[in-house]
């Protein structure tokens, strides 16, 4: 039975605690017909409770960060690694940097807060601790600058902020730098820190700071910050520093005020008892970005965690038209503050405890939370997943009523959806020799090549990533690589597109994003989209036929291949293994993001550079892997290759996954190429998998004259690696890996 058509788009913006827990829950209890997308400016988000321990050196970075991409893959949630810049709650769209707008039927915000840098000079001369998802990289920058400082004079580091965050950051920094020539200053606006906490907690914090040797500056109301940085207080005091961290109260981001959403006095989204915007009920806000109108609570991670199950229930109920559940914040909570070393302060109500055992208690609680997010249970088949709930049907949309999807010509995308979308992009195509194209929307396309040869190549991909914008760009680069292996000028393209079943308005959203991505990417390459064919199917697929124009002389090889020539590879191997690992929840999000960025980049200039330096023969490394394409490249040349394994570039994370047993489903078929190669017995299974790993949007494998490699490297830099040399050999002689 086909899956239910997509009926609603739930968009989550921000990877805070509430959203991480919601995504985990959604994996176990998905709602048929609802597509969930997480938009996050970064693939890693830290658990704020463990951040001080990370700064102090008690944790590794991977122990305190949630890998959002991995979490989304396991949960069946789309992940879009991009920055949201604006919200239009009336049109129900969000603006994303460098992309078209994204539509939503329900929106949830968990973006955290932004630092209040209203003190003159704070923005220019301090390092803000918030947003915490980018603070760790800024802290590493501070550590790097300190390591390069001149010896002999202690470095002075300051923290402005009287709250728990300021205390924990100051103490963590002091512990991390205890063996360095550095002093930490803690600036308090009043005489005592931790306003709103029991006096006993403040006394314990001050005592811990004094014992550690942190320089306390009480009653220091910062009036301005000057270059240096240098702090000036309202009472005339002045302190010069080498580095300054800003950890004061936060404010809402500018986009809240510009969106028209009701907000509180500090610029946070004002919500009702159900965590919905009081002005626009299709928008939810949780964590620091939201403020409940009737029951406001402090901006603390413990509240975001408690809000998560209510947020999950209310989003589902809202989509289904059911009564919502009120969220009631707890009146008090257990506070655990780290003091730098493995020591902490615990408080609840009037009770306060300190000691190493408290830190270990806090450590156990924090690790349990992180394990809860990392451990996403496998999604069990859901028989109801193919049935669209009545509340999500639209009687005016035939796509919501069909229980079974037709095949053949009955599986086409509706004409109205297609025409409305394509009409937007016809005007962007302007080639004088195109006689019939998108504008005419005819049964055929016509162009006049004149005296040129037409060089064609066709490729089709199933979605390697669930972000349609990124996937469309990858599909273009992948399809174009074939024709770039010859000296031809790309001219035009035809498209075959398969979209998953969805309501027409949702299908149009998807089509618009894909078309804008395709057309913009094709335009970058000077290629006109002439037309194509659309269909519905179980998964997103993009096929592109590329037409290029060439003269007869330009498509000939650049001279005979001969012994002594060098083999050059222009991209690292590993996309097959990485995305096989992603499907199993084993690949790191940062490695996947790096691979996706590479796969979306153009290779046109690389191919031109190879030709300019006298390339003799070249191919792109795709489905057959390096081993297979090497064999096909050198067939009938009278040469064999001697490959230096250590010279083969690999994508980050690929070797570790391959050594752990991860392999592409094509590995078994491609491994037959290895049987025709001389391989040392010591070669690991991981390297064997990578030599046969099918590449999507892979690099070029080229035969170059030996005397041009230095100039080639100077021209193309790190985009080329010399991986081997050719030797004379009888036809069919085995290539050598060493």
CATH number for the domain that contains residue 644: 3.90.650.10
Looking only at the bridges linking them, the beta strands covering 215-217 and 182-187 are parallel
If asked whether residues 144 and 192 sit together in one domain, one would say: yes
Residue 514 placed within a domain: yes
Length of the chain: 738
If asked whether residues 144 and 183 sit together in one domain, one would say: yes
Decide if 230 contacts 237 (C-beta within 8 A). no
Q: What percent of the chain has pLDDT over 90?
A: 62
If asked whether residues 178 and 107 sit together in one domain, one would say: no
If asked whether residues 60 and 75 sit together in one domain, one would say: yes
Give mean pLDDT, residues 103-119: 91
- Cα dihedral sign, 479-481-486-488: positive
pLDDT reported for residue 381 = 54
| DSSP per-residue string spanning 139-187 | HHHHHHHHHTSPTTS-EEEEEE--SHHHHHHHHHHHHHTTTSSEEEEEE
Dist. CA 689–CA 679, nearest whole Å = 13
If asked whether residues 151 and 241 sit together in one domain, one would say: yes
* CATH assignment of the domain containing 270: 3.50.50.60
If asked whether residues 587 and 727 sit together in one domain, one would say: yes
Q: What percent of the chain has pLDDT over 70?
A: 90
Give mean pLDDT, residues 646-652: 95
pLDDT band at 723, cuts 50/70/90? very high
Residue 379 placed within a domain: no
Residue 559 placed within a domain: no
pLDDT reported for residue 410 = 43
Give the domain extent around 193. 122-250
> 170 Cβ partners below 8 Å, 6+ apart?
159, 184, 186, 209, 214
pLDDT reported for residue 440 = 47
pLDDT reported for residue 721 = 93
pLDDT reported for residue 441 = 46
Dist. CA 586–CA 581, nearest whole Å = 5
Residue 652: HSE in the Cβ half-sphere, 13 Å Cα cutoff:
11
Segments in 243-379 forming alpha helices (H): 254-259, 301-320, 356-374
If asked whether residues 189 and 171 sit together in one domain, one would say: yes
Q: Cα dihedral angle (548, 549, 553, 558), rounded to 10 degrees?
A: -30
Lowest average pLDDT, out of 271-275, 401-405, 672-676, goes to 401-405
pLDDT reported for residue 158 = 94
- Give pLDDT tens digits for 118-134: 999 999 999 898 877 77
Residue 392 placed within a domain: no
Residue 339 placed within a domain: no
Give mean pLDDT, residues 394-420: 54
Lowest average pLDDT, out of 72-76, 183-187, 411-415, goes to 411-415
| DSSP per-residue string spanning 660-678 | TT---TTHHHHGGGGGGEE
pLDDT reported for residue 732 = 78
- Give pLDDT tens digits for 255-273: 999 999 999 999 999 999 9
pLDDT reported for residue 132 = 78
CA-to-CA dists, residue 471 to 249, 461, 606, 697, angstroms: 40, 9, 21, 11
Query: Among 550, 574, 606, which residue terminates a domain?
Result: 550
The whole-angstrom distance between residue 191's C-alpha and the CA centroid of its chain comes to: 44
- Give pLDDT tens digits for 319-338: 999 999 999 988 777 888 99
Say if residue 226's pLDDT is above 90: yes
Give mean pLDDT, residues 433-455: 62
* CATH assignment of the domain containing 505: 3.30.1330.10
- Give pLDDT tens digits for 564-604: 999 999 999 999 999 999 988 899 999 999 999 999 999 99
If asked whether residues 722 and 594 sit together in one domain, one would say: yes
Decide: residue 731, CB within 10 A, 0-12 exposed, 13-18 middle, 19+ buried: exposed
- Give pLDDT tens digits for 468-504: 999 999 999 999 999 999 888 999 999 999 999 899 8
If asked whether residues 108 and 139 sit together in one domain, one would say: no
Lowest average pLDDT, out of 73-82, 94-103, 132-141, 418-427, goes to 418-427
If asked whether residues 132 and 166 sit together in one domain, one would say: yes
pLDDT band at 295, cuts 50/70/90? confident
Decide: residue 323, CB within 10 A, 0-12 exposed, 13-18 middle, 19+ buried: exposed
pTM over 0.85, yes/no: yes
Other residues' Cβ atoms within 10 Å of the Cβ of residue 691 = 26
Dist. CA 371–CA 365, nearest whole Å = 10
> 437 Cβ partners below 8 Å, 6+ apart?
426, 429, 445, 447, 492, 528, 529, 530, 531
Say if residue 514's pLDDT is above 70: yes
Residue 432 placed within a domain: yes
Lowest average pLDDT, out of 136-150, 595-609, 721-735, goes to 136-150
If asked whether residues 596 and 723 sit together in one domain, one would say: yes
Number of domains in the chain: 4
Query: Among 500, 526, 550, which residue terminates a domain?
Result: 550
pLDDT reported for residue 431 = 60
Choice between 145 and 62, residue whose per-residue pLDDT is larger: 62
pLDDT reported for residue 406 = 47
Give mean pLDDT, residues 497-518: 93
What is the rounded end-to-end Cα distance, in angstroms, of the chain? 51
Residue 500 placed within a domain: yes
pLDDT band at 238, cuts 50/70/90? very high
pLDDT band at 444, cuts 50/70/90? very low
If asked whether residues 645 and 713 sit together in one domain, one would say: yes
Give mean pLDDT, residues 57-83: 93
Residue 578 placed within a domain: yes
Rg of the chain taking only CA atoms, in angstroms: 29
Q: At which residue do the structure tokens 């402005």 appear?
A: 160
Q: At which residue do the structure tokens 């590879």 appear?
A: 569
- Cα dihedral sign, 580-582-584-588: positive
């Amino acid at each position: 039975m086909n899956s239910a058509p997509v009926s609603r788009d739930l968009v989550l913006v921000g990877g805070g605690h509430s959203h991480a827990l919601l995504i985990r829950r959604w994996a176990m209890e998905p709602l048929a017909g609802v597509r969930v997308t997480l938009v996050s400016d970064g693939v890693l988000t830290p658990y704020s409770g463990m951040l001080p321990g990370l700064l102090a050196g008690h944790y590794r970075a991977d122990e305190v960060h949630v890998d959002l991409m991995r979490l989304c893959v396991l949960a069946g949630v789309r992940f879009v690694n991009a920055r949201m810049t604006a919200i239009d709650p009336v049109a129900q769209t969000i603006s994303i940097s460098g992309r078209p707008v994204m539509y939503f039927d329900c929106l949830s915000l968990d973006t955290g807060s932004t630092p209040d840098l209203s003190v003159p000079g704070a923005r220019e001369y301090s390092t803000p601790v918030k947003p915490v998802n980018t603070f760790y990289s800024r802290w590493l920058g501070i550590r790097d600058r300190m390591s390069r400082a001149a010896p002999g004079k202690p470095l002075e580091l300051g923290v402005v902020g009287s709250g728990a965050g300021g205390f924990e950051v100051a103490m963590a920094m002091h512990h991390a730098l205890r063996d360095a020539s550095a002093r930490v200053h803690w600036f308090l606006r009043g005489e005592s820190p931790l306003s709103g906490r029991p006096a006993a907690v403040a006394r314990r914090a001050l005592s811990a700071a004094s014992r550690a040797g942190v320089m306390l500056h009480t009653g220091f109301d910062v009036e301005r910050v000057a270059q240096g940085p240098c702090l000036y207080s309202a009472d005339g005091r002045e302190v010069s520093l080498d580095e300054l961290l800003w950890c004061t109260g936060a404010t809402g981001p500018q986009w809240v005020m510009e969106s028209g959403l009701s907000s509180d006095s500090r610029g946070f989204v004002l919500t009702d008892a159900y965590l919905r915007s009081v002005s626009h009920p299709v928008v939810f806000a949780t964590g620091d970005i939201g403020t409940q109108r009737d029951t406001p609570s402090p901006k603390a991670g413990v509240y975001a965690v408690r809000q998560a199950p209510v947020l999950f229930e209310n989003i589902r109920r809202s989509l289904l038209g059911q009564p919502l559940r009120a969220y009631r914040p707890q009146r008090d909570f257990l506070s655990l503050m780290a003091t730098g070393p493995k020591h902490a302060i615990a408080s609840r109500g009037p009770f306060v405890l300190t000691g190493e055992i408290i830190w270990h208690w806090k450590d156990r609680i924090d690790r349990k939370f992180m394990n809860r997010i990392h451990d996403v249970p496998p999604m069990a088949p859901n028989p109801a997943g193919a049935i669209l709930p009545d509340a999500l049907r639209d009687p005016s949309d035939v796509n919501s009523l069909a229980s079974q999807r037709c095949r053949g010509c009955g599986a086409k995308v509706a004409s109205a959806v297609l025409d409305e979308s394509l009409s937007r992009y016809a005007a962007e195509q302007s080639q004088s020799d195109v006689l019939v194209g998108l504008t005419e929307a005819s049964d055929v396309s016509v162009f006049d090549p004149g005296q040129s040869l037409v060089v064609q190549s066709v490729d089709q991909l199933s979605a390697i990533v669930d972000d349609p914008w990124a996937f469309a760009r990858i599909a273009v680069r992948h399809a174009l690589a074939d024709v770039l292996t010859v000296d031809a000028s790309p001219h035009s393209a035809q498209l075959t597109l398969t979209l998953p079943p969805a309501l027409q308005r949702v299908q149009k959203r998807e089509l618009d994003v894909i078309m804008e991505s395709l057309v913009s990417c094709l335009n970058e390459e000077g290629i006109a989209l002439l037309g194509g064919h659309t269909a519905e199917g179980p998964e997103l697929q993009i096929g592109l036929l590329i037409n290029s124009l060439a003269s007869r002389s330009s498509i000939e090889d650049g001279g005979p291949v001969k012994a002594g020539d060098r083999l050059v590879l222009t991209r690292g191997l590993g996309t097959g293994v990485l995305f096989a690992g992603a499907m199993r929840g084993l690949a790191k999000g940062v490695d996947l993001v790096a691979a996706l960025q590479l796969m979306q980049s153009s290779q046109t200039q690389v191919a031109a550079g190879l030709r300019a330096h006298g390339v003799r023969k070249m191919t792109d490394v795709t489905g057959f892997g390096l081993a297979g394409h090497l064999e096909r490249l050198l067939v009938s040349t009278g040469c064999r290759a001697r490959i230096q394994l250590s010279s083969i570039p690999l994508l980050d994370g690929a070797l570790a996954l391959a050594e752990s047993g991860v392999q592409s489903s094509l590995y078994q078929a491609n491994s037959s190429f290895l049987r025709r190669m001389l391989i040392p017995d010591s070669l690991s299974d991981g390297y064997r998998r990578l030599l046969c790993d099918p590449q999507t949007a892979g690099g070029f494998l080229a035969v170059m004259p030996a005397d041009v490699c230095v100039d080639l490297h100077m021209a193309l830099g790190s985009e080329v690696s010399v991986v081997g040399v050719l030797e004379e050999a009888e036809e069919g002689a085995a290539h050598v890996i060493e």
